[in-house]
Amino acid sequence: MREDDLRPSDNVEDRRGSGGFIPGGRGGLGIGTIIVLGLLGWALGIDPRVLISGAEMVTQGGAPQTANTQPGQRGAPSDAQGNFVARVLGETEDVWSQILPAQGNMRYEPPTLVLFSGATQSACGAAQTASGPFYCPNDRRIYLDTQFFQEMRSRLGGGGDFPNAYVIAHEVGHHVQNLLGILPKVMQVRRQSDEQTSNALSVRTELQADCLAGVWANAMNRRHANIDENDVRQAVNTAAAIGDDRLQKQSRGVVVPDSFTHGSADQRVRWLLTGLKSGQIADCNTFGGTRP
C-alpha cells in the first residue's frame, strides 16, 4: 500500500513516552482485546471464555470516567510509524467527509486518535498496550499503541501496511457507527441483555465496523489507486487471523460460538470484502437477518 499521497491528519494526540501505569478498567470496543485474552488464557491455563466475559462486562459499562492523563502533543508525528498513522487517519477524514453526507445524509465529525505506549487514560477507563486498539465513544477518541502492529505480525501471522490501515479504519468504523446512532443503541440493549445475546450483538457491531473499513478502502483506492491484490490478500489473512474461532482454537483447542464477540474468521473476511467491493454503507447491514 502506498501512503505518500495521503494527507496526514492533525487530529493526532501523541502521548508516547509519557509512560506510567494507570489503574482502572478499560472500556470501548477494541479489535485486539480478544487476541490478548486468548493468548493470556493459553499461557496461564485459564479458559479464555472467562477472561473474555469479564472484559465484555467492562466494555458494556457506560459511565464516563475522567481522563487524568495530561494531553500529548497535537498534530501529525514526524516519525515513520506515527506519520503512517496520521496519513491513514487523514484519509479516513477525507473519505468519510464525502461518503457520510452522500450516503448517510449527515456531516462527518472526525475523531481524535491518541497514540500511546504502555498505558494511558481514556474516558472509558485505562488504555493499555495489552488491550489493543479501541474506540471510546465517551470521548470520541481512538486509542492505539502501534506495538499492536508488531504483535499482530509476530504472534498471529498478520500485518502489513494495508492490514495496519484496516485496523485503524475498523476503529474509525466504530466512530461512524456512533455518529449514525447505531453504537449507542446497541450498547444500551447489550447492557440489558443476557450474555449470549450481548455477545451476538457485539459480533454484529464488530462485523459492521469491518465492513465500514472496507467501504473506506474502496473509496481510498478509487481516489489514489494505492492498493493491489497483495494488499487485499494480506488484509484478508489478518481478518481471518483475528477471527474468534481461530483465536479460540489456537489458545485452547476448543471453539465456542456462543462466546464469540468479534465474529468468526469467515465472517470477518466476508464483511471486509463486502464493504471493499461495494463501497456502500447500506451493504453493511450486519444487523439484518438471523445470522450476520
Secondary structure string (H, E, C) spanning 23-80: CCCCCCEECCHHHHHHHHHHHHCCCHHHHHHHHHHHHCCCCCCCCCCCCCEECCCCCH
pLDDT value of position 21: 46
Distance, CA of 223 to CA of 157 (rounded, Å): 29
Distance, CA of 238 to CA of 226 (rounded, Å): 19
Mean pLDDT by 10 residues, the chain (292 residues): 95 82 48 52 42 41 44 90 97 98 97 95 89 92 92 71 95 98 96 93 95 98 96 90 79 82 91 97 93 86
Amino acid at 278: S
Enter the pTM of the model: 0.83
pLDDT value of position 155: 66
The DSSP annotation for 138-171 comes to TTTEEEE-THHHHHHHHHHS---HHHHHHHHHHH
Residues present in the chain in total: 292
Euclidean distance between the first and the last CA atom of the chain, given in angstroms as a whole number: 29
| Residue closest to 139 by CA, chosen among 71, 208, 207 | 71
Q: What is the dihedral of CA 166, 140, 288, 95, to 10 degrees?
A: -50
pLDDT value of position 25: 44
pLDDT value of position 244: 81
pLDDT value of position 66: 39
